[in-house]
Amino acid sequence: MSARGDLSAFAEALSARLPGTWTSTYTRHAAYQDQIATTSTVWDAGAVGYATSNFVLGHLAVLGRADGARLLLFDRPRYPAQFMIGALEPVAHHDAFHQVSEPNGITIPSDPVRAAAQVTRRLLPRYDQALRQVQRNTAHPPPRRAAPTLVTGMVSMAWHPDGAVGAVTGVREATAVLYGAGFQYHPYHRQFLLPASYGDREQIARVQAVSQRLAHIGVGVTMRPARPVPAPTALPARPPVPVVASQTR
């Protein structure tokens, strides 16, 4: 796409109107591969992430805050009167992003005053909350799920107390079968998980389907039952309250 000439000036005008101290860095990119160093860190699972992955931006601006926060600003593809802005990931270990929702970016008008108001109201609160959660995860990593015991050449599964089914395997062909049944790999826990949201009946059906498909390629499945959930401690029975009969005069 062609690079509009007003992005640099707009970025400076926008950064001057955001709360706190922001600076702007403008860059031109002649080819798609030249933008990847920046766009690969886009912290967005929505429209901004899609645009940066599927369009040649031509140029972009990075707005930086004194505490290290960064926002990516670029022309909205196919809409010459609008811009798009989204967050860039902070520098942190990938485990720190566990269960942190992406602070998805927004589309903003070409008026810097209106744009700054929308960024302040709609984007920055989500972004700051996500940053704080990443910082908390870095300082206090959340506990990992206990992985099933891996048996070489097999898929090892286990029911977790929260109802999810976990699976680990060293067989490459088995991973495609797990994905096909709805398992998703979670890097933080280092295992495939079938969410409890499917419900017991659907989970059992999917596990059985996985077992049958794996049997066809000579891969076995071991299943560990759910961990027993400790029963709540019973409160001691209260002594009966004595009843005092009223006296009639």
**CATH (domain of 207):** 3.40.1170
**Whether residues 32 and 114 fall in one domain:** yes
**Whether residues 179 and 129 fall in one domain:** no
**Whether residues 125 and 162 fall in one domain:** no
Residue 238's pLDDT is: 53
**HSE of 46, CA atoms in CB hemisphere, 13 A:** 12
Q: Is the pTM of this model over 0.85?
A: no
Q: Does 2 map to a domain? A: no
Residue 217's pLDDT is: 84
> Which domain does 202 fall in, by range?
154-224
Residue 98's pLDDT is: 83
Burial class (CB in 10 A: 0-12, 13-18, 19+), 115: buried
Q: Return per-residue pLDDT of the chain as tens, 249 residues.
A: 334 558 999 999 999 999 999 999 999 998 999 999 999 999 998 999 999 999 999 999 999 999 999 999 999 999 988 999 999 999 988 888 888 999 999 999 999 999 999 999 999 999 999 999 999 999 988 777 666 665 557 899 999 888 899 999 988 889 999 999 999 998 888 899 999 888 888 999 899 999 988 888 888 888 876 554 444 444 445 555 454 444 444
**Whether residues 120 and 181 fall in one domain:** no
Q: Does 174 map to a domain? A: yes
**Whether residues 14 and 91 fall in one domain:** yes
**Whether residues 105 and 134 fall in one domain:** yes
**Whether residues 158 and 104 fall in one domain:** no
**Whether residues 117 and 172 fall in one domain:** no
Are 14 and 119 a contacting pair, CB within 8 Å? Answer: yes
**Whether residues 166 and 49 fall in one domain:** no
Residue 62's pLDDT is: 98
Q: Does 22 map to a domain? A: yes
Residue 1's pLDDT is: 39
Are 15 and 70 a contacting pair, CB within 8 Å? Answer: no
Are 204 and 180 a contacting pair, CB within 8 Å? Answer: no
**HSE of 225, CA atoms in CB hemisphere, 13 A:** 2
**Secondary structure letter of residue 122 according to DSSP:** I
Domain count, the chain: 2
Q: Does 61 map to a domain? A: yes
Which of residues 139, 170, 192 is at a domain's end? 139
Residue 232's pLDDT is: 47
Q: Does 149 map to a domain? A: no
Q: Does 176 map to a domain? A: yes
Tell me the pairing of strands 220-224 and 154-159.
Answer: parallel
Residue 239's pLDDT is: 53
Q: What is the dihedral of CA 159, 162, 163, 167, to 10 degrees?
A: -40
Which of residues 85, 115, 139 is at a domain's end? 139
Specify which residues 150 forms β-bridges with: none
Q: Does 208 map to a domain? A: yes
**Whether residues 168 and 130 fall in one domain:** no
**Secondary structure letter of residue 22 according to DSSP:** E
**Whether residues 132 and 20 fall in one domain:** yes
**Whether residues 12 and 128 fall in one domain:** yes
